[in-house]
Chains A and B, each alone.
Chain A
């Protein structure tokens, strides 16, 4: 499979696919960060995570329509407002779900899987009833279109770079929130020992609700970013959910750094292989490799050493 290419060609291919992989990497990180908080920190299996992303995408789509009809002069900047709205909408829905559903199930993680799967079915049908079954695409402002030529063989689309920049920003914010802020210390305390955290005066119910809301809100931002790359339909969320869970599990559920590392390796492997074989085979091989590695290292790449 490598035989037909010269060394120089291979270098260019790897570089080009590497950049394509970086965009995929950003997408994975955005998808997985929210899940890493919800699954890795809280232990809740949220199968409706994809639907929270789709909510963000629909909010973005509505915002862009609103701006197009009423504020065409500000269209260039609508995306930033759309992302904030997507965060708020998904986060609010997340807190509602936590209150109505998840908080009854903290001791039964496998049951959260079934319940949130039911939630995802309901949300999908709701999207279909409200927005129609057709996929919707968002119109991008002028400055996001086009691409930047780096060398004569490599060019990077601007919206891809925007997603990458966004990913870096969101990741930095999440790391700040979880590891440096007072609130993050409370979150980690509650997740490690709920009873003890409650005993020292932390309002564990409130922490749970905001943590879940934050995870869902980040999913909303991810959905918002998605609209730049592809179109959105009621069932798009289901396409990503397995990938996202594998990214989180592969990296080691409780480790945010592991999530990022695993998103990087998975996306690079997939995008490099995609050049040499069909997309579906690349996907199969990547997933198989992940499953095989998970069988050797069940706790993921970066397992935290904790006493259970």
Chain B
């Protein structure tokens, strides 16, 4: 794939297939409840795409993506909560005009860090900036000192743990273990009825395509190539004069921002935010979505997320016990048997068949033989 264009034909085909699936097939075939479930799954796809960038391409495994997902989600939730707790809505409280859980915890004044969330503009800025700055601080502190790999994974995991303990412990400011619930309107527009859910779904899909395009752009730009080179032989890239740390920080920040957008959309779609989407367990589950989809494939991440979540919902509805066995087996199978996930299976097994059937081009040619999971890294090793 030496094409200088940032969208190769395979990428365009992949985008088209995904667009048909998300914009046409799913909305036509699913009722609103199921469509809202898909919307919930897709919020994790934002995280998964970010992980493809920083883990698949950059080789930085972050086990703290839940933190960024949660930061985005909490920013959105704080805005919605303030709107829901206007003075007339909360007049039965001892201090009207503040969120109900603050009232229960004997807090009489809105804390300073809640103040900016009266404004939607500031909220949107916060959703994008707060997680990115946080990721920058972590990334700069770690990568400048050449901490990476296993140590980075463990430290991000610790940060996820700290975040959960903090949110649960500071009940008066964060809603504690219940999270921020009972969210109603966005700028006066009710987010709860069915038609709002459908609108939110399409808005989310639009954002998702925005993120996919950005990720494809990064992947095909020089930046993406340097990321892959770094993953393979970090020292050689460093000796060639590139600032390895800065590239890693950039990938990590971008992944954090994607996760935050997903988190904000999650709050809008689901109507609440709680610490159970922030901690270690959800963060690791987000990694498995990426791994199942294929850690090198941006489209694969979306399909992996959808597939694992569909499996989770349907299996845990009917066989709650089997689900954890299944998820555990999935972790092990992805690592041991197909490290490149669905995209790898597609590329190695299905696509050659297709190539033989529908195209008479040489098997080595890269374009025009119809593969949705197109964005596999150049010269990536099979492992």
Contact = CB atoms under 8 A, between A and B. Distances in A.
B154 A118 contact: no
A120 B162 contact: no
Nearest to B330: A118
B142 interface: yes
Contacts of B280: 238, 242
B334 A284 contact: no
Interface string A101-126: 10011001111111101111110111
Contact of B324 (A45, A105, A125, A281): A125
B149 A249 contact: no
Interface in B300-347: 321, 324-325, 327-332, 334-336, 339
A16 interface: no
B186 interface: no
B261 to A, nearest CB: 25
B196 interface: no
Contacts of A124: 324
Contacts of A129: 321
A122 B324 contact: yes
B159 interface: yes
B47 interface: no
A114 B291 CA distance: 9
A297 B89 CA distance: 51
Interface in A228-278: 238, 242, 245-246, 249, 278
A177 to B, nearest CB: 25
Contact of A242 (B161, B168, B335): B161
A294 B153 CA distance: 13
Contacts, number: 116
B149 A295 contact: no
A291 B159 contact: yes
Secondary structure of the B contact surface, majority rule: helix
Nearest to B162: A287
B352 to A, nearest CB: 26
Interface stretch (B28-36, B95-103, B281-289): B281-289
Interface of B: 61, 63, 141-142, 145-147, 149-151, 153-155, 157-159, 161-162, 165-166, 168-169, 280-281, 284, 287-288, 291, 321, 324-325, 327-332, 334-336, 339, 383
27 contacts: A43-B150, A45-B153, A101-B336, A104-B336, A105-B336, A108-B335, A108-B383, A110-B153, A112-B335, A114-B288, A114-B331, A115-B332, A122-B328, A122-B329, A129-B321, A238-B280, A238-B281, A242-B161, A245-B157, A246-B158, A280-B169, A284-B165, A284-B169, A287-B161, A294-B147, A295-B141, A298-B151
Nearest 5 pairs of A and B residues by beta carbon = A118-B331, A280-B169, A122-B328, A121-B328, A125-B324
